[in-house]
Amino acid sequence: MQDISAGIQAIKRQLGDRLCIMGHHYQNDAVVQHCDITGDSLELARRVPQVNADHIVFCGVYFMGESAALLAKPGQAVYLPSMDADCLMSRMTPAPLARKVLEQLYALGRKVIPLAYVNTDLALKAVVGEYGGAVCTSANAGIMLQWAMKQGDGVLFLPDMHLGNNTATALGIAPHERHVLRIGSRGLVEPEAQALDRKLLLWPGCCAIHARFDPDDVREMRAAHPGCRVIAHPECREDVIAVCDGAGSTSYLIKDAARVAAEALGSTLIVGTENNLVHRLAARHAGQCRIIPLGHAICGNMAKVTEKKLWTILEAITAQKATPLAIEEELCPPARLSLTRMLEVCGQ
Ligand code: 13P
Ligand code: SF4
């Protein structure tokens, strides 16, 4: 991989300030070593408007590149090294279906504000913007849910029901105030038999990578590593988070690992999230504390971005043959609204 790495470095030197490589924490180390900016979804979205480079290469999944393209300045081009790296959860809320469900809820006299996890596509973000809603990430879901509650008489959280439920629990919204919608291909299934008057309505989507963890995984880890601390990403199921010692976004997990490494020398930390991040944390804090994944969790789509593909897109950029990510013009104003509302509410 020496040649590829050297090739990437040479192109970075050649393009200088005209190039910015951004990458999500779930990317593998071979890619992360070349990134100018790494972060979780929120940090990356916040950084895009500050980037002045002509070319932004985004190492992550499709919706992240789309959000970057939406927040980029006119004339800036955003490229994805792997166009087929797609977050499967982001496809669980097709925009026409979400619109249909919102129409059905409004027809019942409800003013439900949609709050969409950033892991959604552009068309869905546009529907959310149109209905007065906003985007959130796992790092600000609590702040954004409180904001959305004040904008209408209820919130439709989509697409991740686990993040929605975990956020609601953290805010003290009781289970009897929530309802996971039953949705079919034409909208709500048997609306009359559903508790549609609840304060928090949840779209029945989830991340298959995080939802696979089970409370027994936590119990087994505690038995194998007495005294260990267990933390996990809030895309995990509520019954898993209930038996953890802490939960939060990717940036929370990174900060907590650094804290444990500094304050609890020799201890064991179990982390329930994508394994690329966990292995990186384990290497970073080796000798201070032991960091172990809660279980096998590799996002196959994040893994589609490789160092070789990064090199290929950079070569195409220098040869002026790269195709930037194209986003549908008419979807941009409402979709941008849903993203900028988040950045405004969270103080940029
Ligand atoms: P973050 O919002 O923590 O970056 O997570 C994004 C994601 O895709 C988690 O699976
Ligand atoms: Fe999507 Fe889950 Fe992969 Fe995150 S880990 S990008 S939510 S599929």
- The residue assigned the tokens 């939960």 is 247
Average pLDDT, the chain: 96
Phi, psi of 70 (to 5 degrees): -70, -35
Bridge partners (DSSP) listed for residue 63: none
Q: Report the nearest atom of ligand 1 relative to the CA of 210.
A: 10
Question: Residue 348: pLDDT above 80?
Answer: no
Q: Which of 43-47, 109-113, 237-241, 290-294 has the lowest mean pLDDT?
A: 43-47
Choose among 149, 175, 147: nearest CA to 161.
Answer: 175
Tokens of residue 109, six digits: 């006299």
User: Can you tell me the mean pLDDT for 199-215?
Assistant: 97
- Chain-centroid distance, C-alpha 246: 18
User: Can you tell me the mean pLDDT for 67-96?
Assistant: 95
Question: Residue 205: pLDDT above 80?
Answer: yes
Tokens of residue 203, six digits: 């779209």
Tokens of residue 257, six digits: 């690992």
pLDDT at 1: 60
CA distance 136 to 343: 9
- Classify each residue of 175-191 as buried b or exposed e, where b means 16 or more C-beta atoms within 10 Å of its C-beta: eeebbbbebeeebbeee
- The residue assigned the tokens 């289970």 is 175
Tokens of residue 341, six digits: 């509302």
pLDDT at 347: 79
Q: Report the nearest atom of ligand 1 relative to the CA of 302.
A: 8
Q: Residue 266's pLDDT band (boundaries 50, 70, 90)?
A: very high
pLDDT at 45: 85
Q: pLDDT (tens digit, 9 = 90+) per residue, 85-139?
A: 999 999 999 999 999 999 999 999 999 999 999 999 999 999 999 999 999 999 9
Q: Residue 57's pLDDT band (boundaries 50, 70, 90)?
A: very high
Distances (CA, A) of 264 to 58, 90, 157, 218: 36, 37, 37, 20
Pocket flag, ligand 2, residue 148 (CB < 6 Å): no
- Helix-, strand-, coil-residue percentages of the chain, each rounded to 5: 50, 15, 35
Ligand 2: residue of 82, 138, 302, 305 to mutate (most ligand atoms within 8 A of CB) is 302
pLDDT at 345: 94
Tokens of residue 74, six digits: 């006119």
Cα–Cα–Cα angle for 156, 157, 158, rounded to 5 degrees: 115
Protein residue with least CA distance to atom 1, ligand 2: 87
The percent of residues in the chain predicted with pLDDT above 70, rounded, is 99
In this structure, the strands spanning 246-247 and 154-158 are unpaired
Q: Report the nearest atom of ligand 2 relative to the CA of 61.
A: 6
Pocket flag, ligand 1, residue 137 (CB < 6 Å): yes
